[in-house]
Structure 1
Amino acid sequence: MADGGFVRLLDGSVVVALSLPRPDAPARSVRVLVHAVNRPRALTRLRNLGLRAVYLRGNAAPPTPDEVSAVLHHPEGIVWRATPGDAADPWQPMTRLVHAARHPRAA
């Protein structure tokens, strides 16, 4: 379902990057970054937030060094951006995207 990829860090953990349909606007996509101890755990973290049909097949679009830096410096270790590759669009905490999907009028 998702276009993405991963990189393994020196400590053995991974950063997974996925392009997913936006929950509150399925016609649009978002770039999601997850830091976890391994790939299955990264996908589990997303599924626990309500993104049930998330799979990573292949490594076609791994995270860039800037993306890795962004997710490593975020306390939750999960961030998203509506416009992939646009430095003017800031990385957002994942809880904001999930909240917007559950409460569309509050966003």
Structure 2
Amino acid sequence: MAGGGFARLPDGSVVVALSLAGPPDGGVRPGERVRVLVHAANRQRALTRLRNLGLRAVYLRGNSHPPTLDEITAVLHHPDGVVWRSAPDDDTESWHPIARLMRPAPAT
């Protein structure tokens, strides 16, 4: 799934969903795409949160793939408000905290 989108919540905040290439030293295989969800007061703050975490080239153009209801529930129930998973279409994979994506993969 490529692209991203957002959903405005009744309280005025938004959930932004983006499909991004995983960082080379992150917890994913090289070249693998990840679905990242961010809860913030508005779209710009959601993107700023990701940029502050080191994902510099993050942009939201359009609303082609907004978050699903399950994705919105997942990010709202996480204390950090930023989660990801590598297989967006696989409901058996859990959502992970963003810190797990940003730390280097363990050496093998």
Provide the TM-score with structure 1 as the length reference: 0.91
User: Higher strand proportion, which one?
Assistant: 1
Deviation at 1:106, TM superposition (A): 5.2
Cα distance in 2 between the residues matched to 1:94 and 1:52: 15
> Matches of residues 54-73 of structure 1 in structure 2 within 5 Å?
54-73=58-77
Unaligned runs of 5+ in 2: none
- Aligned match of 1:31: 35
> Matches of residues 1-40 of structure 1 in structure 2 within 5 Å?
3-24=3-24, 25-40=29-44
Aligned to 1:70, what secondary structure does the other structure show? helix
Provide the TM-score with structure 2 as the length reference: 0.90
Q: Structure 1 stretches (4+) deviating beyond 4 angstroms?
A: none
- Aligned match of 1:43: 47
Aligned to 1:89, what secondary structure does the other structure show? coil
* Paired-residue identity, %: 66
Cα distance in 2 between the residues matched to 1:26 and 1:4: 21
1:18-69 CA distances to partner (integer Å, 9 max, x unpaired)? 0000002451100000000000000000000000000000000000000000
Residues 11, 106 of structure 1: alpha-carbon distance in 2 compared, 3 angstrom cutoff: farther
- Aligned match of 1:104: 105
> How many residues matched?
103
Deviation at 1:105, TM superposition (A): 3.0
- Aligned match of 1:86: 90
Which structure ranks higher in relative contact order (CA pairs < 8 Å, sequence separation ≥ 6)?
Answer: 2
Unaligned runs of 5+ in 1: none
